[in-house]
Copies of this chain bind each other. A is one copy, B any other.
Amino acid sequence: MTATEDTSTAHQKAYERIHELILTGKLAPGERLRERNLGALLGLSRTPVREALRRLSSEGTVRFEPNRGVYVEEIDRGELLEIFDIGAALESRCARLAARKIGSEAIAVLEACLDEMTKFAGRPEGDPGPDYVKLDKRFHSTIVAATGNRKLQALVEHVVSLPVLSSAFRQYGPADFRRSVRQHGEILEAIRSGDEAWAEVAMRNHILTGRNAVVKQDGTAAG
């Protein structure tokens, strides 16, 4: 019916929508979030909204100030680059584990992802945009899930929940997308062949490429 998303519960819907609003910058860093406003906006009551906000708070995306409201967390450039380093450490470790433990179904999912990515990158002009972001998320989520480690999965989710991950894509040109696809291909091949060391460095290479894109994103010394 609606968006084919897994919007089975109001809480899930609230979480996804609010998260997206923050990702896309419609809710700006530092901005105060009023529970009743959000509820009205999403057609929900405060209860699921608050639960979603608690979750986002636990992920470091928003901040509860007791009795004084909820605010979108700000992230400065230094923090962000650190996060990329952490992400590289976590995800490369995931890739190593995945190379050891992944099953054929997960492999199939990765292949399907890569296939669609290739199609997107093959386009002459248009920016793949949000679709590519989703594919990228699915690809990485599949690898993390293949580790079978739920705690690790939770950690990575928290890292990739950053607004900036997608903003990194925003300024990608066609060449950047092609490179991204190629890197995903390498990662898949490494995992498929069970080469743990290769999978690890292929993933690290991929993440740090994204990091570099963010570094160059805004050269100005904006406060």
Contacts and interface: CB of A to CB of B under 8 A. Distances in A.
Interface string A124-154: 0000000000000000000000011111111
A86 B57 CA distance: 22
Nearest to A101: B78
A85, A93, A150 — most chain B CB neighbours (10 Å) = A150
A76 to B, nearest CB: 9
Contacts of A79: 148-152
Interface string A87-116: 001100100010000000000000000000
Contacts of A16: none
Contacts of A47: 47
Interface majority SS on A: helix, strand, loop or mixed?
Answer: helix
A195 interface: no
A51, A58, A89, A97 — most chain B CB neighbours (10 Å) = A58
8 contacts: A51-B54, A58-B58, A60-B154, A83-B152, A85-B93, A89-B90, A155-B155, A155-B159
